[in-house]
């Protein structure tokens, strides 16, 4: 029997009906698969947990964060009450939720007094949503007559201590999973693992970044050498673009790992950007399916997508909140090491560089980073290049905010003539100015920078002119 990891996102466990539906999907797959389930917090819960902590920092009295905690408590209590009949399981869940909400109250109280929140405390707080949803789903499955047990991923996924964006230590994680999961699976118990969270070797709770449950499922799938990972959401699959921008975006039947990686890295909110990484090594197919339309095949993500789609643009995505930094000056020509110093300074500020453009004459280096890091980066660069600026080897270090990276994705773009012409033609028709371009570093992405005010139109133009009309 093959092993299947199933991940259910926040909407799939977001209400009484959704949790029942999720439980039925799990039960329906009993004949074919040995199953491991990974769950997100109920929809909106992680946001509310963050809000409780931030309110504890900012508000004058305790009532404000206490009200948020009361809301979270009631939401879980009511959901559990509606899902389970009176009895031991229900009482135990009520008291677990009560215990977690008391702990949250105590943490928020300390934060309120201290007036600040550390990333480490934030991870302890945001882990609570998944702790509640995993226990709830396991109890519902038991109630429906199946052996199921919730497990906190703090016992399974070992990470570094980069709180709020921790990275898994794969070898240690593998050992834990073999020790703690395999026997349960073999005994026919369905483990319900908390998504999003892990712990350091010392046992301190960490999180893998927002939307991290997708990544948790891939890490677990890779360590179990699963046959497939299925990601259940509230959309029919990965769509040709964000449905909030283009409501009639269509489902893409098949994508390669690289295409999916490119799409999620450049802003498609459908999957955590690191999701495909653990799957590549073991060549584990990933499916994106709709909890509320379960018979629909969804999107399959595999090593190599079907050949006939090569050289076509399959999807377009945009990443907002970017700034462009330009280091320029004629004196830079031939001065060795300017690029290396520039990027090590940027790295020193912890800024993530999403796109780099350098003119061939070496007169300028231009790159894109998230706007929240730009002022620190420009300041650090001015300090690092103080001498070059004084000598006028570098004329200026400037930045431009309010830009967006738009990325068109499809395998084989690099060696298919005419694709860029179609993309730029579509933008030209709508009078959209392209500020910068990068293609070629990745085999399947063409990225361009436009003003934030043009971003929605740029995505719509590329979607309608290049994807729908056959790129
Ligand atoms: P989950 O909570 O199940 O992880 P998410 O809300 O994180 O689900 O991701 C699914 C959402 O991503 C969809 O509801 C959709 O609005 C959004 N989205 C953005 N871009 C895309 C895309 N290209 N394909 C599918 N969904 C997308
Ligand atoms: N609950 C977490 C979040 O909202 C993780 C996830 O949903 O994947 O970011
Ligand atoms: Mg998500």
Dump pLDDT digits (tens) for 412-435.
887 888 888 999 999 999 999 999
Q: Are 289 and 230 in contact (CB under 8 A)?
A: yes
232 C-beta closer than 6 A to ligand 2: no
**pLDDT higher than 60, residue 91:** yes
**Which atom of ligand 2 has the smallest separation from the CA of 272?**
8
68 or 420, higher pLDDT = 68
211 C-beta closer than 6 A to ligand 2: yes
pLDDT for residue 361: 64
242 C-beta closer than 6 A to ligand 1: yes
**Which atom of ligand 2 has the smallest separation from the CA of 209?**
9
**Which atom of ligand 1 has the smallest separation from the CA of 211?**
7
How far apart, in whole angstroms, are the C-alpha atoms of residue 368 and residue 305? 30
48 C-beta closer than 6 A to ligand 2: no
pLDDT tens column, 336-354: 888 899 999 999 999 999 9
89 C-beta closer than 6 A to ligand 1: no
Average pLDDT score over residue span 366-393 = 95
All domains of the chain, ordered by start, with CATH?
2-234 (3.40.1160.10), 315-468 (3.30.2130.10)
- Separation of 40 CA from ligand 2 center, angstroms? 6
**pLDDT higher than 70, residue 359:** no
**Which atom of ligand 2 has the smallest separation from the CA of 9?**
7
243 C-beta closer than 6 A to ligand 1: yes
How far apart, in whole angstroms, are the C-alpha atoms of residue 438 and residue 414? 11
- Pocket-testing residue among 25, 214, 233, ligand 1, by greatest number of atoms within 8 A of Cβ: 233
pLDDT for residue 420: 87
- Pocket-testing residue among 10, 243, 314, ligand 1, by greatest number of atoms within 8 A of Cβ: 243
User: How far does CA 426 lie from the centroid of its chain?
Assistant: 29
211 C-beta closer than 6 A to ligand 1: yes
Average pLDDT score over residue span 308-328 = 91
- Separation of 7 CA from ligand 3 center, angstroms? 10
**Which atom of ligand 2 has the smallest separation from the CA of 10?**
7
40 C-beta closer than 6 A to ligand 2: yes
272 C-beta closer than 6 A to ligand 1: no
* Closest ligand to the CA of 239: 1
268 C-beta closer than 6 A to ligand 1: yes
**Which atom of ligand 1 has the smallest separation from the CA of 244?**
16
Average pLDDT score over residue span 369-384 = 97
* Token couple for 437: 């371009």
Residue whose C-alpha is closest to residue 181's, from 151, 148, 222, 226: 151
Question: What band does 379 get if pLDDT is binned at 50, 70 and 90?
Answer: very high
**pLDDT higher than 90, residue 405:** yes
- Separation of 10 CA from ligand 2 center, angstroms? 7
pLDDT tens column, 155-172: 999 999 999 999 999 999
129 C-beta closer than 6 A to ligand 2: yes
pLDDT tens column, 232-291: 999 999 999 999 999 999 999 999 999 999 999 999 999 999 999 999 999 999 999 999
- Separation of 470 CA from ligand 2 center, angstroms? 35
pLDDT tens column, 215-238: 999 999 999 999 999 999 999 999
pLDDT for residue 417: 85
Range in 90-99, 360-369, 445-454 the model is least confident about:
360-369
For the chain, the three-class secondary structure string (H helix, E strand, C coil) is CEEEEEEECHHHHCCHHHHHHHHHHHHHCCCCEEEEEEECCCCCHHHHHHHHHHHHHHCCCCHHHHHHHHHHHHHHHHHHHHHCCCCHHHHHHHHHHHHHHHHHHHHHHHHHHHCCCCHHHHHHHHCHHHHHHHHHHHHHHHHCCCCEEEECHHHCCEECCCCCCCCECHHHHHHHHHHHCHHHHHCCCEEEEECCEEECCCCCEEECCCCCHHHHHHHHHHHCCCCEEEEEECCCCCECCCCCCCCCCCECCEEEHHHHHHHHHCCCCCCCCCCCHHHHHHCCCEEEEECCCCCCCCEEEECCCCHHHCCCCCEEEEEEEEEEEEEECHHHCCCCCHHHHHHHHHHHCCCCCCEEEECCCCCEEEEEEEHHHHHHHHHHHHHHCHHHHHCCCCCEEEEEEEEEEEEEECCCCCCCCCHHHHHHHHHHHCCCCCCEEEECCCCCEEEEEEEHHHHHHHHHHHHHHHHHCCC
pLDDT tens column, 439-471: 756 778 899 999 999 999 999 999 999 999 874
47 C-beta closer than 6 A to ligand 1: no
* Strand 190-194 versus strand 148-151 pairing type: parallel
**pLDDT higher than 90, residue 363:** no
pLDDT for residue 155: 97
- Separation of 132 CA from ligand 3 center, angstroms? 17
pLDDT for residue 351: 93
362 or 271, higher pLDDT = 271
Question: What band does 114 get if pLDDT is binned at 50, 70 and 90?
Answer: very high
pLDDT for residue 158: 98
**pLDDT higher than 80, residue 308:** no
Q: Are 39 and 194 in contact (CB under 8 A)?
A: yes
**Which atom of ligand 2 has the smallest separation from the CA of 213?**
8
54 or 334, higher pLDDT = 54
- Separation of 76 CA from ligand 3 center, angstroms? 20
pLDDT for residue 108: 98
**pLDDT higher than 90, residue 119:** yes
Give the whole-number percent of the chain exceeding pLDDT 90.
85
50 C-beta closer than 6 A to ligand 2: no
pLDDT for residue 335: 76
pLDDT tens column, 11-42: 999 999 999 999 999 999 888 899 999 999 99
Residue nearest to atom 6 of ligand 2 (CA): 211
11 C-beta closer than 6 A to ligand 2: no
């Amino acid at each position: 029997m093959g092993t299947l990891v199933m991940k259910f996102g926040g909407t799939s466990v977001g209400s009484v009906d959704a949790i029942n539906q999720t439980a039925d999907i799990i039960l329906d797959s009993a004949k074919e698969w040995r199953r491991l389930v990974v769950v997100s917090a109920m929809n909106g819960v992680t946001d509310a947990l963050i809000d409780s902590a931030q309110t504890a920092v900012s508000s004058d009295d305790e009532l404000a964060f206490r009200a948020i905690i009361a809301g979270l408590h009631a939401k879980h209590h009511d959901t559990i009450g509606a899902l389970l009949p009176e009895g031991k399981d229900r009482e135990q869940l009520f008291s677990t939720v009560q215990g977690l909400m008391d702990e949250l109250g105590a943490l928020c109280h300390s934060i309120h007094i201290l007036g600040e929140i550390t990333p480490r405390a934030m991870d302890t707080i945001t882990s609570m949503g998944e702790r509640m949803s995993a226990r709830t789903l396991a109890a519902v499955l038991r109630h429906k007559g199946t052996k199921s047990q919730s497990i906190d991923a703090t016992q399974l996924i070992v990470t570094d201590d980069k709180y709020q964006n921790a990275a898994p230590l794969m070898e240690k994680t593998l050992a834990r999973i073999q020790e703690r999961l395999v026997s349960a699976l073999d005994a026919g118990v369905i483990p319900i693992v908390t998504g999003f969270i892990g712990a350091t070797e010392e046992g301190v709770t960490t999180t893998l970044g927002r939307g991290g449950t997708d990544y948790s499922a891939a890490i677990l799938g890779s360590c179990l050498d699963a046959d497939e990972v299925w990601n259940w959401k509230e959309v029919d699959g990965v769509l040709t673009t964000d449905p909030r921008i283009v409501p009639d975006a269509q489902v893409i039947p098949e994508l390669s790992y690289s295409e999916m990686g490119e799409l999620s890295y450049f802003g498609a909110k459908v999957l955590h950007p690191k999701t495909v990484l653990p799957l590549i090594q073991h060549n584990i197919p990933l499916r994106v399916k709709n909890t509320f339309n379960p018979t629909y095949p969804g999107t399959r993500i595999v090593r190599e997508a079907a050949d006939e789609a090569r050289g076509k643009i399959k999807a377009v995505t945009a990443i907002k909140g970017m700034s462009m930094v330009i280091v320029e000056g004629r004196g830079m020509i031939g001065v060795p090491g300017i690029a290396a110093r520039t990027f090590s300074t940027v790295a020193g500020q912890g800024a993530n560089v999403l796109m780099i453009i350098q003119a061939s004459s070496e007169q300028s280096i231009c790159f894109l980073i998230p706007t929240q890091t730009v002022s620190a980066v420009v300041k650090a660069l001015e300090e690092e290049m103080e001498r070059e600026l004084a000598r006028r080897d570098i004329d200026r270090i400037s930045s431009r905010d309010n830009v967006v990276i738009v990325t068109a994705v499809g395998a084989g773009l690099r060696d298919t003539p005419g694709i860029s012409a179609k993309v730029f033609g579509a933008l030209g028709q709508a009078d959209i100015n392209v500020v910068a371009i990068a293609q070629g570093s990745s085999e399947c992405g063409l990225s361009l920078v436009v003003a934030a005010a043009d971003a929605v139109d740029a995505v719509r133009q590329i979607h309608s002119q290049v994807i729908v009309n056959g790129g």
